[in-house]
Amino acid sequence: MDTGVKISGVAHVVLVGVAMFGAPLFSADTGKTIQISEVSLISSEEFAALASGNISQPVPKPEAVVPVDSSTQPTESDPAPDIELDPVAPSTPSEVINAFEPQVTESAPPKPAKTISNAVVETPTEPVKPLPVAKPSVIEVPSPQEPPKPEPDQPSAPKESTTEIVTEADKEESKLAPIRSSRPRSRPKNLKKEDAPKPEVAIEPAPDPIEDAIAMAIAEDLAKAAAEAASQPAVIEGPPMTGSETSGLVFAIQQCWNVPVGLENDASNVITMGIKLTRDGRLEEEPRRISPVSGSAAGILQAYEAARRALIRCQPYDLPIEKYETWREIEIVFNPQQMVLR
C-alpha cells in the first residue's frame, strides 16, 4: 500500500510537473533569433495585404533614375581648357588641407523634435566607443544566441511567395519551441522507469545516487537559472509576436537596408544593432551598435552606418501595440553574406 501511495504520489507529481513545464511548449517563443531568408520577391501590395497594415515609412522606390551618362558635357564649356596642356597639373590639388573648424556643433541645433537628435553627437562617425556603454548586459546576449543560428542551412532559399513566407516563419517558430521544452520532456521518462517497472527499487537505497545526481543537477540548473534571472533586470515579457508580425518587421527593414557595395566584398561585415522603440514605433534613441563593438576591417564603418541609416529610415515601425513589451527592444543582425557579389 505504501508502495501504491508512493507510485501514485510520484505519478501525480510528474503529471503536475508536465502540466507546468509542458505549458511553455505550446506558447510561442519570443526571444529567439528569427531568420527569414527570402522575401525579396513580394510585391508591395502583397506585402501590404500580408502585414495588414503599413509596415514602415514609404520605402523609397527608385523612380525615374536620373540619366547616368558617363560623359560630362561641361567639357565644351570648360572654363579653363587651355591649361590642360600640363594636365598632370604640377601645381595641383594634392594639397589636401585638413578639416576646417568642426562646426558640427552648429549643425546639431536644427534637429527636429525627433528623439534621435540628442544622440547625434559627431562621434557616430567613429562609432567605436560610445555604443557599448549603453547596455553591457545586452552585449552578452548575442554570444549564447549566436551558435544556435547556423544560417548556412538556407543559403539558396529561393523565390517564394507571400503565403510561403508566412509558413516559413511559422515553421521557424515551431522549430524553436521544442528547444525550450526539452528539459521537461526528458524528465518524465526517467520517472517512468523508476516508476512502473521496478517500484521496489524505490524502496531500496541503491538508486539513490542516481536520483540524487538528478536532483543535484536540477538544483544546479535551478540555481543557475535563478541567478541568471536575478542578474538581469526583470522585464515582464509581452505576448509573443506571430510569425507574420516578425516577418513583416524583417521585410520592412530589408527594404530600408541599402547594402553598400564596399560591403559586398567582405562577407565578414555582419553588424548587430540594438534599438529601443517608443509605443508609436519610433526610435527612442539612436540605434546602438552591439557588435562588432569596434573593427578596423575595411567597410565596417560603412556597414554600421548603412545599418543605422536603415533603422532610422524605417521608422515608424508598425507593430502591434498590445505586444509593446515584446518589441520595445529589438536586436537586429545585418548579415550581408548572402548578398556578396564578388
Partner 1 sequence: MIKPLIIAIVGLMLVNTPVFAQSKPLRIEINQGVIEPMPIAAPKFVATGNGSGEYASQITSVILSDLAGSGLFREIPASAHISGISNFDAPVQFADWKAINAQALITGAVKISGDKLTVQFRLFDVFAQSALGEGLQFQASKGSWRRMAHKVSDAIYSRLTGESAYFDSRVVYISEEGPKNARRKRLAVMDYDGANNRFLTDDSDIVLAPRFSPNNKEIVYTSYKSGTPKVYLMNVDTLKQRLLDEQPGMTFAPRFSPDGKHVVMSLTEQGNTDIYLINIKNGAKTRLTSGTSIETAPSFSPDGQQIVFESDRGGKQQVYIMPAFGGTAKRISFGKGSYGTPVWSPRGDMIAFTKISKGRFHIGVMRVDGSNERLLTASFLDEGPTWSPNGRVIMFFRETAGASGAPAIYSVDVTGRNLKRVKTPSFGSDPAWSGLLK
Q: Record the cell numbers describing residue 153, joined without a space.
A: 542551412
CB 287 within 8 A of CB 311: yes
Closer to partner 1 by CB, 38 or 46: give it: 38
Single residue of 3, 15, 129, 151 touching partner 1 by CB under 8 A: 151
CB 56 within 8 A of CB 257: no
Q: Could you tell me which of 260, 253, 236, 255 has the C-alpha nearest to residue 331?
A: 253
What's phi and psi for 275, nearest 5 deg?
A: -130, 155
- Name the amino acid, one letter, at 12: H
Least separation, in Å, of the C-beta of 335 and partner 1? Answer: 4
Alpha carbon distance 255, 10 (integer Å): 55
**Number of CB atoms found within 10 A of residue 250's CB:** 19
- Is 189 a binder of partner 1 (CB under 8 A)? no
Query: Which string of x and - marks every residue 63-92 that binds partner 1 (by CB under 8 A)?
Result: --xx-xxxxx-xx-xxxxxxxxxxxxx-xx
- Is 147 a binder of partner 1 (CB under 8 A)? no
- Per CB under 8 A, contacts with partner 1 among 261-320 are 261-265, 274, 286, 298-303, 305, 308-310, 312-313
Q: Record the cell numbers describing residue 294, joined without a space.
A: 569596434
CA atoms within 13 A on the CB side of 201: 13
Single residue of 3, 8, 15, 16 touching partner 1 by CB under 8 A: 16
Which stretch of DSSP H or E encloses residue 209?
Answer: helix 208-231
- Per CB under 8 A, contacts with partner 1 among 199-228 are 202, 207-208, 211-212, 214-216, 218-219, 221-222, 225-226, 228
Single residue of 49, 196, 229, 321 touching partner 1 by CB under 8 A: 229
- Per CB under 8 A, contacts with partner 1 among 37-66 are 37-40, 60, 62, 65-66
Least separation, in Å, of the C-beta of 134 and partner 1? Answer: 12
Least separation, in Å, of the C-beta of 245 and partner 1? Answer: 10
